[in-house]
């Protein structure tokens, strides 16, 4: 019976040593996880700051794009008005060309009449 008790005591002591080793391994693992958690929290803080910076930059870029879009619309409106004015000027230039062609033909006809008329039959 004493021998049985001694064997059981040895078994319990061996189990206790196994449990102590397991507890120590768990403690070391928890320490490692705790350090990882601290590092992860720091990285999350850094990433959060960077995200806010990127969001601010994105907001600035959106405002810039809106401003450029407004400027582009204004430029397109100006270009449309300039195109209309150019078309009107083109029509006026064509009309002037017709007038000068008519004037040139009239001068040619007058010249032919003067040259083709009898001497001394000129005006006056």
| Residue pointed to by tokens 């008005």 | 81
What the block records as the tokens of 104 is 């040139």
- The C-alpha angle with vertex 106 and arms to 101 and 111, in degrees rounded to 5, equals 125
- The predicted-structure confidence for 54-105, as pLDDT tens digits, reads as follows 999 999 999 999 999 999 999 999 999 999 999 999 999 999 999 999 999 9
Domain ranges in the chain?
1-84
- The whole-model pTM stands at 0.50
- The predicted-structure confidence for 40-49, as pLDDT tens digits, reads as follows 999 999 999 9
- Cα–Cα distance between 14 and 9 in angstroms, integer? 8
- Nearest CA among 116, 95, 113 for reference residue 105: 113
- Cα–Cα distance between 12 and 4 in angstroms, integer? 12
């Amino acid at each position: 019976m004493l021998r049985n008790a001694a064997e059981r005591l040895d078994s319990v002591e061996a189990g206790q040593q196994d449990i102590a080793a397991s507890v120590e391994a768990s403690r070391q693992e928890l320490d490692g996880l705790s350090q990882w958690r601290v590092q992860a929290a720091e990285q999350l803080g850094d990433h959060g700051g960077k995200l806010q910076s990127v969001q601010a930059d994105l907001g600035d870029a959106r405002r810039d794009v809106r401003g450029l879009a407004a400027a582009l619309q204004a430029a397109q409106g100006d270009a449309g008005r300039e195109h209309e004015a150019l078309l009107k000027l083109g029509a006026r230039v064509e009309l002037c060309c017709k007038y000068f062609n008519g004037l040139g033909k009239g001068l040619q006809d007058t010249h032919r009449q003067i040259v083709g008329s009898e001497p001394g039959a000129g005006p006056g």
